[in-house]
Amino acid sequence: MSFLKWFSGILGKENKKEPDQAKPISKRLTQNLNTLKEHFSLAPDLTVRQFQIHDGTQVALAYLEDLVDKVAINDQVLRPIMLESKTIQDILNYLLPIGKMETAQNWEEIDSSLLAGKSILFINGNAHVFILYTQGWPQRAIEESPVETTIKGSHQGFVEKASTNIALIRRYIPNRELKIKKLSVGERSKTTIFLLYMQDIAKPEIVWELEKRIKKARIDAIINAGELEELIEDHPYSIFPQFETSERPDHTSMQLLQGRIAVLVDHSPRVIIAPMNFTSYFQSVDDFSFRWAIASFTRFLRLSAIFIATVFPATYIAIISFHYEVIPMDLMLSIASSRARVPFPPIIEALLMELAIEMLREAGLRLPKSIGQTIGVVGGIVIGEAAVQAGIVSNIMVIVVAVTAISSYIIPNFDMASSIRLSRFPIMILASILGMVGIIIGVTIIIIHLTSMESLGVPYTSPLAPMRFSDWKDTWIRIPLRKMINRPLSVHPTQLKRQGHKKE
Amino acid sequence: MKKVRGILLSLMLVGLSTGCGDQIYLEEAEVILGIGIDLNENDQLQITNSVPIISEQTAIASQMVTTSSRNLRQAKDKLDLSVPGKSALGKIQNILIGRRLLEKKNLLPYLDVFFRNPKSEINARVIAVKGTIQEVDHAEFQGRVPGIFIKDLIDKSYESRNSVLTNLQQVHRQLLNPESTPYLSEISVVNKKVLISGTALLNRNGLYTTSLNKEETSTFLVLLEDTESPIPLNFPYRTGEMSILVEEAKNEIQTKYENGRFQFDIKPKLKVVIMEAIGEIDFPKQRDVLEQFIQKVIKKRYEDLICKFQQHQIDPIGYGLYVKAFHYSYWKKIKDHWSEEFAKAKVTVTPSIEISNFGIKLYSNKSMADIGYSRYFHAPLPVSTTLAYVKNNNSPGNDVPKSVMISY
């Protein structure tokens, strides 16, 4: 009974205390300023500049310091109003050289505008205020993303301001069909979300579905794009990412042109790209700037890296604890002699090394860049060499773990690489219990899981299952661009032919 | 929740499964690389195992463990008492059979344990030893593990066509099928060194009857049509020597049953390459002459070999299969004593030779012909061929090479 009570208590009393939020503003300036100070109590960065213009009208400009562009406030707002204006009408007609200006009549709008870095112009005797778009906040310069580096691609990366990011994408796709939908998520943060897609390529159902999911997302505040990603993805319990996040405008534009949708989250330099397929995580922007044969070879390297990263340590464990018959004669002797001193069973040995490598990786991430590298080298040499010397692990195991670590970093997408790194641990344990049969079981489970997954309703393993042969031109290999006439079917584009080929 | 319960249950089932039972850690396994089976003076079974000693320092040290017992299974149990690990049969490279055992006992029951155990290596080479296993035990192996040394020796000499290669699976077929009799590669120990000595032939009962030497083994491979890599044959030609390579061999065989005995008409069709011929030959004018000459040689070789088989009442080639295929009604009557029937059979050999390549002709100039030096050579092998001229600049006015080295 008490449980029910507690339960109803949660649902029942939603304390709604904002009766004055929707309250209209009054005509009197002093009253308005008092209300404003009430709303923004304990906010020392609120600045209110009150003054008279020539005809004696009392005017006040309110803004949050540091959220506004001070040069714009001084030069484009205060100077003309204070020095040149004769009447209020002058100001509104031609004296405010500001790109965007709105009027507002209620307090809710005023508060959110102030918090967004806009400045508010109160005029005595008017029952409405003017909202001036004077935002300007500390912002970092556009630079290349440290996570997604390319050799031949552009060296621009997204920044924390969504509008800048849109500009970066528009530079790649100056096309009317690039549509942008503006949404907002977060009860408190009211984070602005932009949905970018090519209207004549992206399937409307997918756009609609994504929009619906974003609108349904309930959260206090979106700090980072990753949070939104988790709220809107199809399988939150899966270890595999279902959307891609990228910091590269060129990559994002490429994906847009394939019919995918980009979700820009304000405050976050990462853009969510959806829907994704498992195989598209292994494509990189560089693939299209390298010669196709070289790019195809790199693709092949990445695909083999998936297998090495998931099953190589497990296979080694299975072989040396169950199937010694499959090792070539001479190799068998050298493996056996290096294993002879190790007191642990292979699974413990492997887990020790794998965990050490993962810790090294994590440690390298946390440390400042200059020390990070040192830790990597020192850790690698010290742990590897000393552990072998001390007889805790065998030489061969160090090689196995190192090869696995290297191949897991070949995968260009960070999220996918992390998922694949994680997936090898259960397989290793299965291999130590059941040998090769265990590996088969583990891999089968993963494959079943992957095939049953969807990303925004699009089959995750497409073009492999369902089989779409025409998409293989950009999956296993990268065929020359002249032959790449169709967009990938896996994304269900409404316009299949790429436009350059339309006339032919 | 239902899903989670399902996952937990299946994880528990995986944990409880009996998978770990046949776990065998490599470094703890006593990996037997070679087994020697022989009889000692008292006709007791004597088993020798070659096991590498796996230690941190060296991988090549190995030990030979010998024990005598009534059968192999008992021997394995006895050996397990003396070695620290679990003996593992999965990597047996070769099974050596001593001459004394081959002469006295049928081989099959002794190999039975390998056929029966699914984990034993079916590709193990079965090798006859001309002598005792003790001799092999005391031989020197250039610091290598004996099991691997002998395996490499047999493989390499099979590749260079000086030996046959019979693995456990083939021996099983040869021992049990009435259409043919077994043949094994044979090694001997001379001055503490292990050498290939040819081919050991067993009769229907799995007992040793006779051996083929190296030259006969090469011809035997031609008879078996085993020309995966070309088979070299050497024979005297006029005053010099001739070496040929048999690139393709196809023995067409027709069988008849006449006057109470079988008749085999063997028509070998060989495609040969002349590797080297020393003496004065003029190609291609003498092609026909040369082909006829090789035909004669081949015919002689075939007849000698088949004659030897008939003398010893063995049929390693498997002519019984032709009888079974084409004269089944007779075969049913005689299949239990086919070897005796084969000994009575009449065999005619009419080879046809096609010289596919003469190679190139060096030194056809008069001066060389004068000194009776004419050499043809060809390099048909896919292996790298090096030709080195050793010029003799000391003799004035004579810039022809004095000697030619050809190595394949």
Task: Share the mean pLDDT of chain B.
Answer: 80
Touching B: A residues 298-357, CB under 8 Å: 320-322, 324-325, 327, 329-330, 332-342, 345-346
A179-202: pLDDT as tens digits: 999 999 988 888 899 999 999 999
| Nearest chain A alpha carbon to B152 | A329
Q: Is the pLDDT of residue B394 over 50?
A: no
Nearest to A341 among B17, B56, B91 (CB): B56
Nearest CA-CA distance, residue A15 and chain B, Å: 33
Which residues of chain A lie closer than 8 angstroms to B124, CB-CB?
Answer: none
Q: Is the pLDDT of residue A380 over 90?
A: no
- What's A325's DSSP letter? G
CB contact A452 to B (< 8 Å) = no
Token pair of B4, please? 């989670």
On whether the CB atoms of residues A129 and A119 are closer than 8 A, the answer is no
Which residues of chain B lie closer than 8 angstroms to A332, CB-CB?
Answer: 26, 31, 91
Predicted confidence at residue A504, as pLDDT, reads 44
Look at chain B and count its residues: 408
The set of residues, in sequence order, having a beta carbon less than 8 Å from that of B321 and lying 6+ positions away, is: B179, B180
CB contact under 8 A, B121 and A325: yes
What does the H/E/C string look like for A446-504?
A: HHHHHHHCEECCEECCCCCCCCCHHHHHHCCCCCCHHHCCECCHHHCCCCCECHHHCCC
Nearest CA-CA distance, residue B84 and chain A, Å: 13
CB contact under 8 A, A321 and B148: no
Token pair of A397, please? 């195991």
Question: At B307, phi and psi to the nearest 5?
Answer: -60, -40
Predicted confidence at residue B281, as pLDDT, reads 66
On whether the CB atoms of residues A157 and A247 are closer than 8 A, the answer is yes
Predicted confidence at residue B325, as pLDDT, reads 92
E-state strands within B167-284:
183-190, 193-202, 208-212, 231-237, 240-258, 261-278
Which residues of chain B lie closer than 8 angstroms to A441, CB-CB?
Answer: 14
Nearest to A324 among B29, B33, B55 (CB): B29
CA B284 to chain centroid: 36
Nearest CA-CA distance, residue A142 and chain B, Å: 46
Q: How far apart are CA A52 and CA A87, in angstroms?
A: 11
**Which of the pair, A99 or A483, is modelled with greater confidence?**
A483
Amino acid at B149: F
Average confidence (pLDDT) over A289-308 = 92
The set of residues, in sequence order, having a beta carbon less than 8 Å from that of B276 and lying 6+ positions away, is: B241, B242, B243, B375, B376, B377, B406
| Nearest chain B alpha carbon to A322 | B23
Nearest to A339 among B27, B121, B145 (CB): B27
Q: How far apart are CA B235 and CA A42, in angstroms?
A: 112
Average confidence (pLDDT) over A250-276 = 92
| Listed range (A202-206, A207-211, B60-64, B236-240) with the worst mean pLDDT | B60-64
Q: Is the pLDDT of residue B358 over 70?
A: yes
Q: How far apart are CA B351 and CA B67, in angstroms?
A: 51
On whether the CB atoms of residues A252 and A169 are closer than 8 A, the answer is yes
- What's A68's DSSP letter? B
- Consecutive H or E run containing A361: helix A346-366
H-state helical runs in A265-339: 292-321, 329-339
Mutate to test the interface with A, among B27, B63, B114, B123 (most CBs of A within 10 A): B27
Predicted confidence at residue B372, as pLDDT, reads 46
On whether the CB atoms of residues B94 and B126 are closer than 8 A, the answer is yes
Nearest CA-CA distance, residue A381 and chain B, Å: 21
Calculate what percentage of chain A has a pLDDT beyond 70.
94
Which residues of chain A lie closer than 8 angstroms to B55, CB-CB?
Answer: 337, 340
| Listed range (A255-259, A274-278, A287-291, B64-68) with the worst mean pLDDT | B64-68
Predicted confidence at residue B128, as pLDDT, reads 94
- Residue ranges of domains in chain B, CATH in brackets: 26-212 (no CATH), 222-408 (3.30.300.210)
CB contact under 8 A, A332 and B31: yes
Token pair of B209, please? 């009857």
On whether the CB atoms of residues B34 and B87 are closer than 8 A, the answer is no
Nearest to A324 among B24, B57, B151 (CB): B24
If DSSP codes are grouped into helix, strand and coil, which group holds residue A155?
A: coil
| Listed range (A184-193, A352-361, B15-24) with the worst mean pLDDT | B15-24
Sequence spans of domains, chain A:
17-132, 162-276, 288-459
CA-based torsion, A115, A121, A122, A128: positive or negative: negative
CB contact A292 to B (< 8 Å) = no
| Nearest chain A alpha carbon to B11 | A430
Q: How far apart are CA A218 and CA A183, in angstroms?
A: 13
CB contact under 8 A, B19 and A433: yes
Amino acid at B241: E
Nearest to B22 among A322, A334, A430 (CB): A322
A332-346: pLDDT as tens digits: 888 888 888 888 999
Q: Is the pLDDT of residue A169 over 90?
A: yes
Which residues of chain A lie closer than 8 angstroms to B119, CB-CB?
Answer: 325
Q: pLDDT band for position B369 (50/70/90)?
A: very low
Nearest CA-CA distance, residue B24 and chain A, Å: 5
Average confidence (pLDDT) over A53-68 = 86
Q: Is the pLDDT of residue B341 over 60?
A: yes
Task: Answer whether the bond into residue A275 is a cis peptide, omega within 30°.
Answer: yes
Nearest to A339 among B22, B26, B119 (CB): B26
